[in-house]
Amino acid sequence: TTLECASTQSAPQLLPNVVRPNETMRLVNLDDTTISTVKVVSTTGELLNTIQVNYDSEILINAAQQPGFYILEVSNANGKTSLRYIVK
């Protein structure tokens, strides 16, 4: 099941998705009617961080410290989706 925000019917988005180390990104269009879990994973599969989002439609996330490709796995009771970002 693809995740969508209940109030906007839009899938979660990461803004921007190309950043510098430790730069702040916004994860928007989260479903604010439920608790979401956001996992930050490297392309090698290493779990770098887990964030619980309690009934918010957006959060701020700091980018990883090292250049590379990263994946955000966003999930809640309604499904899950993956977003990608680059640190350069």
**Band of residue 10 on the pLDDT scale cut at 50, 70, 90:** confident
pLDDT tens digits for range 37-60: 999 999 999 999 999 999 999 999
Confidence (pLDDT) at 3: 59
Pairing between β-strand 35-42 and β-strand 68-76 as defined by DSSP bridges: antiparallel
**Band of residue 6 on the pLDDT scale cut at 50, 70, 90:** low
Average pLDDT of the chain, as a whole number: 91
Check residue 66 and report its DSSP letter.
S
Among candidate residues 23, 26, 34, the one with its CA nearest the CA of residue 80? 34
How far does Cα 80 stand from its chain's mean position? 11
* Strand ranges in 1-88 using DSSP code E only, listed in sequence order: 13-15, 18-19, 24-28, 35-42, 47-54, 59-62, 68-76, 79-87
